[in-house]
């Protein structure tokens, strides 16, 4: 039979056996009651800090003794040593274990026998087996918690714990606490990024809307290809349509229009003379229609469809200045 000491015990079961050996020897010793009380209180405090749950397991074990004085002696000393909260924790352990076992309980008042409701979770705030009171590191011989494996990135640790949860594997309180905190951090960052993206998209939409009707010089090494163009439609930042002199159409991106540094390329022109009065120099009329879908067909998702139409100004043929482009 293997003999364990508290120092080399690596599980709650082993620590309970160590405590029983100590308690039996102390209880049957020739020491007086005061000396026994001092030593037993010291040992109980040690177990509270190393593996609190093992004291509950020992209480169940010692309760099986034929001699009632022995379990009562332990319970009386435990109550003198532990705080009120710790004493209540033993009762909560009892409720959890009884509920998990689907025990049938007879109510003497109602004379009815019913099954105890099965608890869905471990009692809130109570140490798991192997954990000291208020401690977040297990005393068992277990691997380093995933959340403390700092050679892995935070996302890698989060993904590993997520997979453990999917597989219903046991997760240490350390990992659970870190997982919850980091998950909240990720969600907050995601919301912030989405808000920033929406702001950026809104700013670009405003720029594109104001771009229609603007004039640009198109410079080329070939002088015959140099011309002046006007934006007649801006579908998005990568597809902007320009109408140039002599009925030529070009397509460019927003960056090509405003951030071009070389030749050939576009240069913005603040063209103000001879504007068409019908379209106010824009050359086109743009109408936008937005429609929000019926939730009944999209499973609760709110989707807004936007359609737009562009019609050329008949007065200037879409140039905005009849005597320049046409």
Question: Which residue carries 């007879």 as its tokens?
Answer: 106
Q: How confident is the model at residue 1 (pLDDT cuts 50, 70, 90)?
A: very low
Determine the pLDDT at residue 72.
92
pLDDT greater than 70 at residue 25? yes
Q: How confident is the model at residue 121 (pLDDT cuts 50, 70, 90)?
A: confident
Whole-number Cα distances in Å, 143 to 12, 137, 157, 165:
16, 11, 14, 17
Backbone angles phi, psi at 215, to 5 degrees: -105, 145
Determine the pLDDT at residue 39.
95
pLDDT per residue as tens digits for the range 290-321: 666 655 555 555 666 666 777 888 777 677 76
Contact 257, 240 (CB under 8 A): yes
What average pLDDT is seen over the chain?
80
Whole-number Cα distances in Å, 62 to 23, 34, 66, 250:
10, 21, 9, 91
Q: What is the mean pLDDT of residues 28-38?
A: 93
DSSP 111-140: TEEEEPPPPSSPPTTPPPTT--TT--S-SS
Greatest alpha-carbon span in the chain: 120
pLDDT per residue as tens digits for the range 64-92: 888 888 899 999 999 999 999 999 999 98
DSSP 159-173: HHHHHHHHTT----H
Higher-confidence residue of 300 and 162: namely: 162
Centroid of chain to Cα 313:
53
Q: What percent of the chain has pLDDT over 90?
A: 20
Higher-confidence residue of 24 and 8: namely: 24
Q: How confident is the model at residue 38 (pLDDT cuts 50, 70, 90)?
A: very high
Higher-confidence residue of 167 and 90: namely: 90
- Between CA 216 and CA 117 the distance in angstroms is 77
Q: How confident is the model at residue 46 (pLDDT cuts 50, 70, 90)?
A: very high
Domain ranges of the chain: 12-115, 143-209, 212-312
Whole-number Cα distances in Å, 232 to 75, 242, 308, 317:
89, 6, 13, 11
Higher-confidence residue of 255 and 119: namely: 255
Determine the pLDDT at residue 233.
86
pLDDT greater than 90 at residue 26? yes
Higher-confidence residue of 181 and 260: namely: 181
The helix (H) or strand (E) run that includes residue 235 is: strand 227-236
Whether omega for the bond prior to residue 264 falls within 30 degrees of 0, making it cis, is yes
Q: What is the mean pLDDT of residues 172-199?
A: 76
């Amino acid at each position: 039979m293997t003999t364990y000491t508290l120092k080399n015990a690596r599980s709650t079961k082993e620590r309970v056996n160590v405590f029983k050996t100590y308690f039996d020897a102390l209880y049957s010793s020739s020491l007086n009651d005061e000396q026994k009380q001092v030593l037993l209180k010291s040992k109980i405090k040690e177990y509270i800090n190393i593996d609190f749950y093992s004291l509950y397991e020992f209480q169940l074990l010692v309760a099986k003794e034929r001699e009632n004085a022995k379990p009562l002696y332990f319970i009386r000393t435990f109550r003198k040593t532990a705080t009120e909260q710790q004493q209540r924790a033993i009762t909560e352990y009892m409720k959890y274990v009884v509920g998990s076992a689907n025990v049938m309980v007879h109510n003497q008042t109602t004379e009815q026998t019913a099954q105890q409701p099965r608890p869905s979770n471990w009692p809130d705030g109570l140490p798991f087996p192997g954990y000291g009171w208020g401690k977040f590191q297990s005393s068992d011989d277990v691997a380093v918690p995933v959340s403390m494996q700092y050679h892995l990135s935070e996302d890698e640790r989060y993904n590993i714990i997520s997979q453990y949860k999917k597989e219903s594997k046991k997760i240490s309180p350390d990992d659970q606490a870190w997982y919850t905190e980091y998950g909240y951090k990720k969600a907050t960052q995601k919301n912030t990024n989405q808000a920033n993206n929406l702001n950026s998209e809104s700013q670009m939409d405003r720029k594109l809307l104001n771009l229609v009707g603007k004039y640009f010089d198109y410079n080329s090494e070939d002088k015959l290809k140099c011309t002046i163009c006007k934006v007649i439609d801006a579908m998005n930042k990568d597809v902007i349509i320009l109408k140039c002199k002599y009925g030529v159409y070009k397509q460019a991106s927003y960056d090509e229009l405003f951030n071009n540094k070389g030749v050939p390329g576009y240069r913005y022109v603040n063209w103000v003379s001879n504007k068409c009065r019908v379209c106010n120099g824009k050359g086109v009329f743009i109408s936008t229609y937005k429609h929000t879908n019926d939730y009944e067909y999209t499973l609760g998702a709110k989707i807004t469809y936007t359609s737009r139409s562009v019609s050329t100004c008949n007065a200037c043929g879409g140039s905005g200045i009849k005597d320049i482009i046409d």
